[in-house]
Amino acid sequence: EITMNQGKGSVIVQSVYKDIKVYGPSNFVLRNVKVDFEKGRVRIKVFFPQLQMTSNYTINGRILMLPIIGSGYSFGNYTDIEATAVMQGERVMRDGKVHFQVGDFFVDFVI
């Protein structure tokens, strides 16, 4: 489930997407990996040539005084997507070996 809250003031829209299916993510190109052991941070940049997404959606909002309400089936076709994932964690010792335990995971997309 993805919830998106957009706008403020006279333009406010909330949309919720459920039963999401994404096609094409395995065709990614790894652009960059940066590991900072001191800060416990891993940053990965990935490029997706094409992604398709299907889902069921509901939308509720307002543009000026006009209500925007709806629901249904959604299909999206997205190309040339840049994504940056940042994992924040810490090194932990397990079975005599050092492992990286992820605490927070953030992803930012440019579509």
Task: Report the CATH number that the domain containing residue 51 is assigned in CATH.
Answer: 3.15.10.30
Q: Which residues sit opposite 15 in a β-bridge?
A: 4, 59
Domain count, the chain: 1
pLDDT mean over 9-27? 94
pLDDT tens figures, 20-78: 999 999 999 999 999 998 898 999 999 999 999 999 999 999 999 899 999 999 999 99
Q: Which segments of the chain does DSSP mark as H helices, in order? A: none
Q: What is the residue type of 105?
A: F
Residue 8 has pLDDT above 90, yes or no: no
pTM here is: 0.72
Contacts 24+ apart (CB under 8 A), 24-28: 24/48, 24/49, 24/50, 24/51, 24/52, 25/51
Cβ atoms of residues 83 and 72 within 8 Å = no
Can you give the residue range of the structural domain that contains 33?
2-110
